[in-house]
């Protein structure tokens, strides 16, 4: 009898637990996935697909498929200039929103998304969230990237670029097949240029254009699809990725065996990051014996500042992180822009643009050419048709076309929409540059739109956003 009573009691308890589970779990899901995101927030008034408002994973799926930017653009075409693309994220595409979010003194700061770009465990110009820290670091670096400094007689950038242009042309003469496959050769050009500018030839400058195989393999960081997939994990499964990468012993072996991450955990920094750290270490060792006579490279300028005692002290890894960030940022952006420009000009329907550009370059006087017979940096910077080609390339094929997320710690209003504190807001060059009211026939490659031959040139410049804007504007645009 007692056993039977106990069994019945257990059965009743299990039945009640099952009833609770059947009732509570759906209620919990409905409350969190339907009621809160669709009815209990001010963002409910912002138009957009319901599924996007309910979960972040719809957009994360598009990110994994490589369609995120195009998908958001299509949503703007359907819903207008303000679209809710996540439970806590809104995308905008108006000029007024651009000024509100990214204008100087707007108060909007970068989100935690950018922390995945920390290098060697240190923040840098790209990852600082607070405007104060960013402004202090930018003040230290921006002057070195200014056009006046780059073109000054004693600067290293001008002879470095002219030398690498000549090396690139010699490479194409020497290896004819590279004229047909320009991905690698243009990346070698940008690699040699950015490392020379940052580290100087003595400590970290590469020679990929001259055939150095070790330097050429640094590009594996860029082309490795597993490393790109790791970025997806770091963005959308941040805590999971961090936990997996900090496991040791048997747990680490199990994680590796089950392939729970898209690539093995490196024992140390690899590729570009390893090269950057080694370059810094070599320099730091050398300056303990003999200080540099002049500040030619960015590395030397940073080190000189660290010795001056001015501003916030910079440790060795702080400087190494800053340099590596510029290193990583400068390779793809430079080479991709050049690659798309060459590709666009090579298309049969764009032959007239190619011929006009060739004619402009051919008419550069010999007095504006260097000893190798190529146009100088100064002469190249004054070519209006070349400038138009580059602007149109950056408009249609921006090297960083995706959203640039920001947030504000207080409630605000953007384009008439009340945006609660902590909401992520973003805009993208891809969508801004395809506004047909500003750029007639926006999908057509037409450099001459920048020569005032169609559309409103003043208005187009307001919408041109290849380098961002405000205090966070890219310092390397020159």
Q: What is the 3-state secondary structure (H, E, C) of 294-332?
A: CCCCHHHHHHHHHHHCCCCCCCHHHHHHHHHHHHHHHHH
Q: Which candidate, 424, 427, 425, places its Cα nearest to that of 400? A: 427
Alpha-carbon span 271 to 155, nearest angstrom: 28
What token pair was written down for 393? 């390339």
Residue 52's alpha-carbon distances to 5, 77, 129, 269, in angstroms, are 51, 16, 26, 37
What token pair was written down for 304? 């000189």
- State whether residue 188 is helix, strand or coil: helix
What token pair was written down for 274? 């390893």
What token pair was written down for 255? 């994680």
Non-local CB neighbours of 4 within 8 Å, separated by 6+ positions: none
Element (H, E) at 139: helix 131-141
Q: Counting every residue, how long is the chain?
A: 478
Q: Report the 10 Å Cβ neighbour count for 425.
A: 26
Residue 84's alpha-carbon distances to 19, 45, 58, 427, in angstroms, are 36, 9, 12, 12
Burial level of 249, CB count in 10 A (0-12/13-18/19+)? exposed
Residue 474 marked ligand-binding: yes
Note the Cα 281 to chain centre separation in Å.
26
Burial level of 218, CB count in 10 A (0-12/13-18/19+)? buried
Non-local CB neighbours of 192 within 8 Å, separated by 6+ positions: 164, 167, 205, 206, 207, 208, 209, 215
Burial 192-212 (b: 16+ CB within 10 A, else e): bbbbbbbbbbebbbbbbbeee
Spell out the alpha helix ranges (H) of 363-433: 377-380, 384-396, 429-432
Alpha-carbon span 395 to 450, nearest angstrom: 11
Q: Which residues are annotated as a binding site for heme?
A: 474
Q: Which residues are annotated as a binding site?
A: 474
């Amino acid at each position: 009898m007692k056993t039977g009573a106990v069994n019945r009691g257990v059965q009743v308890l299990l039945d009640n637990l099952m009833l609770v589970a059947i009732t509570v779990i759906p209620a919990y899901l409905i409350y969190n996935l339907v009621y809160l995101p669709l009815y209990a927030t001010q963002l409910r008034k912002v138009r957009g697909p319901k599924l996007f408002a309910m979960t972040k994973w719809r957009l994360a799926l598009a990110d994994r498929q490589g369609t995120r930017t195009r998908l958001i653009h299509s949503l703007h075409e359907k819903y207008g200039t303000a679209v809710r693309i996540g439970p806590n994220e809104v995308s905008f595409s108006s000029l007024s929103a651009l000024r509100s979010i990214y204008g100087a003194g707007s108060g909007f700061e970068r989100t935690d998304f950018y922390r995945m770009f920390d290098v060697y465990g240190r923040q840098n110009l790209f990852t600082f969230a607070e405007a104060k820290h960013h402004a202090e670091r930018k003040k230290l670096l921006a002057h070195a990237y200014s056009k006046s400094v780059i073109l000054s007689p004693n600067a290293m950038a001008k002879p470095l670029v002219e030398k690498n242009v000549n090396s690139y042309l010699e490479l194409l003469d020497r290896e004819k097949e590279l004229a047909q496959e320009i991905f690698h050769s243009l990346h070698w050009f940008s690699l040699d240029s950015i490392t020379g500018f940052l580290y100087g030839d003595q400590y970290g400058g590469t020679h990929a254009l001259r055939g150095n195989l070790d330097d050429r393999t640094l590009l594996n960081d860029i082309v490795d699809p597993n490393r790109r997939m790791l970025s997806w994990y770091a963005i959308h499964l941040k805590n999971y990725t961090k936990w997996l990468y900090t496991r040791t012993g048997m747990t680490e072996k199990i994680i590796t065996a089950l392939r729970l991450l898209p690539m093995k955990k490196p024992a140390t920094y690899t590729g570009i990051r390893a090269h950057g750290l080694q370059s810094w270490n070599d320099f730091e060792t050398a300056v303990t014996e003999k200080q540099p006579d002049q500040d030619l490279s960015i590395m030397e300028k940073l080190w000189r500042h660290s010795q001056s005692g001015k501003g916030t002290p910079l440790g060795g890894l702080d400087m190494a992180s800053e340099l590596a960030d510029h290193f990583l940022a400068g390779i793809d952006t430079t080479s991709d822009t050049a690659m798309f420009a060459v590709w666009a000009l090579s298309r049969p329907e764009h032959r007239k643009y190619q011929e006009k550009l060739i004619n402009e370059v051919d008419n550069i006087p010999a007095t504006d050419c260097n000893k190798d017979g190529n146009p100088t940096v100064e002469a190249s910077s004054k070519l209006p048709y070349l400038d138009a080609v580059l602007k149109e390339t950056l408009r249609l094929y921006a090297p960083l076309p995706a959203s640039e997320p920001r947030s504000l710690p207080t409630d605000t209003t953007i384009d008439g929409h009340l945006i609660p504190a902590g909401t992520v807001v973003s805009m993208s060059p891809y969508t801004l540059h395809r506004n047909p009211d500003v750029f007639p026939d926006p999908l057509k490659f037409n450099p001459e739109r920048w020569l005032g031959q169609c559309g409103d040139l003043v208005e187009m410049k307001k919408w041109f956003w290849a380098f961002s804007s405000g205090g966070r504007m890219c310092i390397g645009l020159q």
